[in-house]
Amino acid sequence: MSFLQAILLAVIEGITEFLPISSTGHMVIMSSILGIEKDKFTKLFEICIQLGAILAVVVLYAKKFFNFSNWQFYVKLLIAVIPALIFGKLFNDLIDEHLENPAFIATVLLIGGIILLFVDGWFKSPIIHEEADINNISAIKIGLFQCLAILFPGLSRSAATIIGGMQQRLTRSLAAEFSFFLAVPTMAAATGYKLLKFIKEEGSISGEELKLLGIGNLVAFIVAILAIKFFINILSKYGFKFFGIYRILLGISILLLLAIGKF
């Protein structure tokens, strides 16, 4: 992987991490387009730079994340992340297998897009407008929705958790914010696990690989700050239909390219 390829992947990650269109799916597809070898470091890179994008949430919502007097907030995040930790550990090999299958990811993109066309109509009467009103039961249910994205790469962690939040009667904007918050411990755990596994199998990380991870996380962080503001604005005004149409078109395009051997 070259530095230019790393930067391009990081830009894709920063743009797509918080949009309900699957950052993982886009990076896997972009890796194939760029001809990046699917070795162990590439898989590590695609996971680790998600942490850079996620840290943008910590900066933009610093008052919330560092308000230690509101300890209930941290409890909810801990409760919500537990299902993902369990499912990620149990199904790690299956997840890696799916990540190497563009047809699987394209199919999930397509199906997820169809679902997004109808989401706004399913949840029309939210009653929870503030994070303080989210109870622990709702938090763990949202965490279970997040597991769907872990098991089905291409579904989108953002889409799954936002829909989970709306199913628990959160407003769209609050569901999106809680999805952002939940991403922080989720991706921190995923990054730590992948790093430890890589070092255990490979012995160490080279200086060149560390530089690629560094630039990737920095670029993803900067781009994600802009993407978060864009997404909240679009979601509040227009809902999910725009993203659903995009996913359907992308999924069909990839499947057609695969069918004619051009992907």
237-248 confidence digits (pLDDT tens): 777 888 899 999
Which has the higher per-residue pLDDT, 108 or 202?
Answer: 108
Burial class (CB in 10 A: 0-12, 13-18, 19+), 101: middle
Please, which residues have CB within 8 angstroms of residue 179's CB and are 6 or more apart in sequence? Answer: 18, 142, 157, 158, 161, 162, 165
pLDDT at 263: 64
Average pLDDT of the residues of the chain:
86
Q: How large is the average pLDDT for residues 82-103?
A: 79
CA distances for 241 relative to 130, 177, 202, 234, 248, angstroms: 25, 19, 44, 10, 11
Q: Give the per-residue pLDDT at 131.
A: 85
The pair of structure tokens assigned to 34 is: 């760029």
Q: Tell me whether residue 62 is exposed, middle or buried, using C-beta atoms within 10 angstroms of its C-beta: 0 to 12, 13 to 18, 19 or more.
A: exposed
219 — pLDDT class (breaks 50, 70, 90): very high
Instruction: Show the domain range for 216.
Output: 3-259
Share of the chain above pLDDT 70, in %: 98
Angle at 50 between CA 92 and CA 46, to 5 degrees: 60
Domain total in the chain:
1
Q: What is the pLDDT of residue 41?
A: 85
78 band by pLDDT with thresholds 50, 70 and 90 = very high
CB 79 within 8 A of CB 141: no
- Percent of the residues in the chain that have a pLDDT greater than 90, as a whole number: 22
Instruction: Indicate if the pLDDT at residue 262 is higher than 70.
Output: no
Q: How confident is the model at residue 139 (pLDDT cuts 50, 70, 90)?
A: very high
Burial pattern 7-35, b for ≥16 Cβ within 10 A else e, equals: bbbbbbbbbbbbbbbbbbbbbbbbbeeee
Give me 126's structure tokens: 């939210």
What is the per-residue pLDDT across 36-55, written as a single tens digit (0 to 9) for each?
A: 877 788 888 888 888 888 88
Amino acid letter, residue 235: L
Q: What is the pLDDT of residue 144?
A: 92
> What's the confidence (pLDDT) of residue 111?
92
- Classify burial at 222, counting beta carbons within 10 Å of its beta carbon; exposed 0-12, middle 13-18, buried 19 or more: middle
